[in-house]
Amino acid sequence: MSLAVKSIKSLAPLLDRVLVQRIKAETKTAGGIFLPESAVKELNEAKVLAVGPGGLDKEGKRVQVSVQPGDKVLIPQYGGSPIKVGDEEYSLFRDHELLAKINE
Amino acid sequence: MSLAVKSIKSLAPLLDRVLVQRIKAETKTAGGIFLPESAVKELNEAKVLAVGPGGLDKEGKRVQVSVQPGDKVLIPQYGGSPIKVGDEEYSLFRDHELLAKINE
Amino acid sequence: MSLAVKSIKSLAPLLDRVLVQRIKAETKTAGGIFLPESAVKELNEAKVLAVGPGGLDKEGKRVQVSVQPGDKVLIPQYGGSPIKVGDEEYSLFRDHELLAKINE
Amino acid sequence: MSLAVKSIKSLAPLLDRVLVQRIKAETKTAGGIFLPESAVKELNEAKVLAVGPGGLDKEGKRVQVSVQPGDKVLIPQYGGSPIKVGDEEYSLFRDHELLAKINE
Amino acid sequence: MSLAVKSIKSLAPLLDRVLVQRIKAETKTAGGIFLPESAVKELNEAKVLAVGPGGLDKEGKRVQVSVQPGDKVLIPQYGGSPIKVGDEEYSLFRDHELLAKINE
Amino acid sequence: MSLAVKSIKSLAPLLDRVLVQRIKAETKTAGGIFLPESAVKELNEAKVLAVGPGGLDKEGKRVQVSVQPGDKVLIPQYGGSPIKVGDEEYSLFRDHELLAKINE
Amino acid sequence: MSLAVKSIKSLAPLLDRVLVQRIKAETKTAGGIFLPESAVKELNEAKVLAVGPGGLDKEGKRVQVSVQPGDKVLIPQYGGSPIKVGDEEYSLFRDHELLAKINE
């Protein structure tokens, strides 16, 4: 889905949605040699850019999402809503679809 | 679905439904040159025209929808009920189907 | 489904059901010229004829339906139970299936 | 399903089930002329013969069914459990499957 | 499913399960003439042999089943778990699958 | 699923799971004559070896399972997770999948 | 799913997820003879490396997971999200998918 917004920062996820950007795998070796595209593995690590206010539980109270902007997370292999702003790609996930936080 | 109503303004969404109109992509460049149709990307941005009073939770209380008329929103790639009034096209979504608000 | 009842008025919807009749599109132009059948668009506007007493929530309380007899409503493209009395056609929808009220 | 019971009256529906018998369409005209079988329309009107004590809600309380023995009801096109006693055919529906009461 | 138990009486259904035995249709006429097998209709009447203690509702309380040992019931056309002890066949149904009690 | 554990006794089922071992059918007659394999009927009787602490209800309280180690139970024809330790086969069922207790 | 993290220890499962590593079957006999690959049975035993803080029940309270880091568990034949860090493979399961604890 292409968006005409000037910056991804104008996107405020609704309910329990989390906006993430996949972390790109290295395309050159430590020694500076560029890797052929087939050798670059797609990673399932992503950076959280923005989070929704949380979904509503059965009593109408907000359930805060599990992650915060800046967190690094493990995202599932499939799923999420892809978004494209300019040449950059992003995804929106429901909070419960995120698998793990990555602490470094 | 074609409607014979004179104005889209006569439509009042029920429950948690949200009436939106997709924002049209630019069909000419900044310099005024018209783009061929294949170069015009379909956008998933829409403007909220009207919102329902909200669905009912398990205790019969109204759950207010997350957006307001005038908001710009990111809509999902698929889904929604298409409506046509005259030559204009609109869609009805359930509140929880909307992905994000777009702040500008 | 054909019914042998003398009048549609003898039908009292149960629970959260709403009895509607689709509004017929104009078959002649404002100037009085009859339109060929292919030019008559099927509309998704309907008039509410009767409503049920409402479904029951988890605590056994009635949840009133969102519309009243006389209301004009936007019905979904598919769904509903068709009913035929004489030559007239009607439909029964669940309250939550109705998309919007049409105020004029 | 054939039953060896002597009378349909020995059947007491369980929970929210409703025992009905479809009302037969006229097979001769008002003037006494018999209609060919193809001209006899199948009706979806049925008479309620017996009702169950009602299902149980989440707190274990009985939820009374919406109809009473003697009521005339509109039944859905499909569904229900067919029962045969002698040459007569009956059906068992869940209460919420019945579409409307027919008042005459 | 074959069982090696000596008697069906050793079977105690769990939760909301009901153990029944289908009532056999007459295989000879009132006058004592044996009917050919194709003329013997399969009946959906069954006798209740044993009932479970009832399932648990959302608060952990037992929900008593609707029938008692000795009751005659109408069973659905399909479903149930078949059990064989010696040459006799039995079935286990969930309580809510039973359609009606047969009072005689 | 093969397990490298030394004894099946080291397995402690989680939540509402029940560990059972199917009871083997007799492979010789009372008189001591061995039955050909095709004459040995597979039985659906099993012995309970271990039970989980119970699942959690909606309020977070443990719901005790319906059976105890040592109980003989009727298991369903299909389902369960097969486990193999050495040459012996076992199964894990959810408590509500067990059909009946067998009292002898 | 490949991860670029330096150590699996940087992974903190979210909600009720449990990070495990399958225990490898012996590839040589007790006497030190290497087994051909076809003779090495895949085991469904796994070691728990990390657990999430627990999912949320309907009242928003954390439901602690059933296992702890260091526990040995029986994992189901299918399911789980595979993760690869370097040459090592791991899996993430929901707590209720784990079948049994293995006590040794």
pLDDT in tens, E6-29: 789 999 999 999 999 999 876 777
Shortest Cα–Cα distance, B5 to chain A (Å): 31
pLDDT of G77 reads 86
| 8 Å CB contact between E8 and E84 | no
- What's the confidence (pLDDT) of residue G61? 85
Is B37's pLDDT higher than 70? no
Average pLDDT over residues C43-67: 91
Q: Does residue C39 surpass a pLDDT of 60?
A: no
Q: Which pLDDT belongs to residue B13?
A: 98
Q: What is the pLDDT of residues E44-96, one digit of tens each?
A: 999 999 999 999 887 778 999 999 999 999 999 888 999 999 889 999 999 99
Considering only residues 75 to 94 of chain F, which have any Cβ-Cβ distance to chain G shorter than 8 Å? 81, 83, 92
Q: Which of the residues A99, A102, A103, A104 would you substitute to probe the G interface, choosing the one with the greatest number of G C-beta atoms within 10 Å?
A: A99
In this prediction, residue E40 has a pLDDT band, given cuts at 50, 70 and 90, of low
**In-domain check, residue G93:** yes
Q: Please answer yes or no on whether A12 and B101 come within 8 Å at the CB atom.
A: yes
Residue of A nearest to G1 (CA): A44
pLDDT of residue C13: 98
Q: Extract the tokens encoding C99.
A: 């998309």
The per-residue pLDDT of chain F, averaged, comes to 87
Residue G81 counted as domain residue: yes
Condensed to tens digits (0 to 9), the pLDDT of residues D30-84 reads 777 776 666 556 679 999 999 999 998 877 789 999 999 999 999 998 889 999 9
CB–CB of A99/A75 below 8 Å? yes
All partners of chain F with 3 or more CB pairs under 8 angstroms = E, G
pLDDT at C78: 86
Please report which confidence band the pLDDT of residue B39 belongs to, taking 50, 70 and 90 as the band edges. Answer: low
Residue whose C-alpha is closest to residue C25's, from A31, G75, B1: B1
Domain that holds residue A58: 2-102
Taking a contact as any Cβ pair under 8 Å apart, which residues of chain F between 17 and 46 contact chain E?
23, 25-26, 41-45
Top-confidence range, B25-29, B67-71, C82-86, F31-35: B67-71
The b-or-e profile of C54-65 (16+ CB within 10 A means b, else e) is: bbbeeeeeebbb
Which residue type, as a one-letter code, is found at position C10? S
Q: Is the pLDDT of residue B7 over 90?
A: no
Q: Give the mean pLDDT of D89-100.
A: 96
Average pLDDT, chain G: 87
- Going by C-beta distance under 8 Å and a sequence separation of 6 or more, which residues neighbour residue C60? D57, D61, D63
Percent of residues in chain A assigned helix, strand, coil, to nearest 5:
10, 40, 50
Residue D99 has pLDDT above 80, yes or no: yes
Q: According to the model, what pLDDT value does residue E73 have?
A: 97
Phi, psi angle pair for A78, to nearest 5°: -120, 165
Identify the band that residue G93 occupies on the pLDDT scale cut at 50, 70 and 90: very high
| pLDDT at residue F40 greater than cutoff 60 | no
Whether the CB-CB separation of F97 and F79 falls below 8 Å is answered with: yes
Inform me whether the C-beta atom of residue E58 falls under 8 Å from chain F C-beta atoms. Answer: yes
Express each pLDDT in F55-90 by its tens digit.
988 777 899 999 999 999 999 988 899 999 988 999
- N residues, chain G: 104
Q: What is the structure's pLDDT at G50? A: 98
Whether complex ipTM tops 0.90: no
Put simply, the answer to whether E3 touches F58 (Cβ < 8 Å) is no
Answer whether A11's CB lies under 8 Å from B74's CB. yes
- The CATH number covering residue B13 comes to 2.30.33.40
Pairing mode of beta strands D88-94, B88-94: unpaired
Cβ atoms within 10 A of the Cβ of D49, count? 18
Determine the average pLDDT of the residues in A5-17: 92
pLDDT bucket at E37, cuts 50 / 70 / 90: low
Q: Do D43 and C13 touch (CB under 8 A)?
A: no
Q: Quote the tokens at residue E73.
A: 């019931």
d(CA C13, CA C93): 10
CB contact under 8 A, E3 and F101: no
Cα separation, A72 vs G39, in Å, equals: 41
Residue C45 pLDDT level (bands cut at 50, 70, 90): very high
Pairing of strands F81-85, F2-3: parallel
Q: Is the pLDDT of residue F24 over 70?
A: yes
Give residue A91's identity as a one-letter amino acid code. S
Q: Which residue has the higher pLDDT, D34 or C13?
A: C13
Q: Which residues of B touch A11 (CB under 8 A)?
A: 74, 100-103
DSSP string, F18-55: EEEEEPPPPSB-TTSPBPPGGGSPPB-EEEEEEE-S-E
pLDDT at D39: 57
- Cα separations in angstroms, C99 against B5, B18, B23, C20, D96: 15, 10, 22, 13, 22
pLDDT of residue F77: 86
The one-letter amino acid at F7: S
Instruction: Tell me what pLDDT residue C38 has.
Output: 62
Is the model's pLDDT at F39 over the cut of 60?
no
pLDDT value of residue D35: 67
Q: Annotate E19-83 with three-state secondary structure.
A: EEEECCCCCECCCCCECCHHHCCCECEEEEEEECCCEECCCCCEECCCCCCCCEEECCCCCCEEE
Query: Best of E14, E62, E83, E95 to disrupt the F interface by mutation (most F CBs within 10 Å)?
Result: E14
8 Å CB contact of C74 and B10:
no
Examine chains C and G and say if they touch (3+ CB pairs below 8 A).
no
A25-62 pLDDT, tens digit each: 777 777 777 766 665 566 799 999 999 999 988 777 89
pLDDT at A23 over 80: yes
| Residue D11: closest CA among D68, D3, E76 | D3
A11 to B41: CB separation less than 8 angstroms, yes or no: no
Structural domain tally of chain A? 1
* For range F44-64, the mean pLDDT: 91
Which residue's entry shows tokens 């119970």? F54
CB B17 within 8 A of CB C59: no
pLDDT digits (tens, 9 = 90+) for G38-83: 655 667 999 999 999 999 887 778 999 999 999 999 999 888 999 9
Q: Which residues of F touch G73 (CB under 8 A)?
A: 14
